Amino acid sequence: MKTEVILTHNIVGLGGESDQVKVAAGYARNYLFPQHLAIPVSGANKRRLEALRQRRAEREAHEFNTMTELSKGLAKLVCVIKVKAGEDGKMFGAVTSGMIADELKHQFDVALEKRKIQLDHPIKTLGEHEVELHLHAEVKGTLKVRVESTTPAAAPDATAAADSKHDAPHTEKRGRRTDTVEVAADKGKPAKTEKTSKPVERKPRTEKAKA
């Protein structure tokens, strides 16, 4: 059995202040009326509609302004979510709107209902993603979500690096040719050689006399 009531507060999925809606009689009697969320439809109660409409307009204007400011703030954030992934970068599982809502609360103390985070499908790849937000009937926004792996990157092979360095070709510097000349020993000390850049004089070749 249905009964018609006038809502005095906004109820998600049902209506806002001043809306006249039909609900189950038991739901109205046991929940809406005791919680002062609705009143029965009557001539006396209908006179309250104007006041309810005014209160609704004020509430919606406040929500619009609040969500507009929130949208601007969220656009500047990067929500980082850590996940497990294999060495090939393939994720184990996926990132859902509920996980994003939890991290927003944990990282930035922003309480956002997961239904306002619009994901066509769960995120299944690492990297940065842009997620659409439906914050209000007239306010949309975006949030950057960066999915990172908790698996540490593989360290480079130190042995291979050492072998590569050992196998690198050795280059010698080439300079001016130097010749060595012996310096006479002094006081019984053995002779030593010194390098000098003075070129060695060569004697001209002589031709043998013809017989």
Tokens representing 80 are: 């980082």
Q: Kindly list the distances between the CA atom of residue 96 and the CA atoms of 50, 123, 157, 188, 196, in Å, as whole numbers in the listed order.
A: 42, 7, 37, 92, 79
Domains in the chain: ranges and CATH = 2-69 (3.40.5.10), 72-149 (3.10.430.100)
∠ CA 45-48-49, rounded to 5°: 105
pTM of the model: 0.61
pLDDT at 1: 87
CA pseudo-torsion sign 46, 48, 53, 59: negative
Give 179's strand partners.
Answer: 196
What are the tens digits of pLDDT across the range 152-190?
Answer: 665 555 444 555 555 555 444 454 444 444 444 444 445
In this predicted structure, the answer to whether residue 4 has a pLDDT above a threshold of 70 is: yes
What are the tens digits of pLDDT across the range 104-124?
Answer: 999 999 999 999 999 989 999
Residues 6+ apart with CB under 8 A from 24: 1, 2, 3
- Alpha helix segments (H runs only) across the chain: 25-27, 43-46, 49-74, 97-108, 158-166
pLDDT at 89: 83
Residue from 132, 140, 146, 149 nearest 78 by CA: 146
What is the rounded average pLDDT for all residues in the chain?
Answer: 81
Structure confidence at residue 28 as a pLDDT band (50, 70, 90): very high
More confident residue, 205 or 91: 91
Average pLDDT over residues 57-79: 96
In this predicted structure, the answer to whether residue 11 has a pLDDT above a threshold of 90 is: yes
Average pLDDT over residues 70-78: 96
What amino acid occupies position 148? E
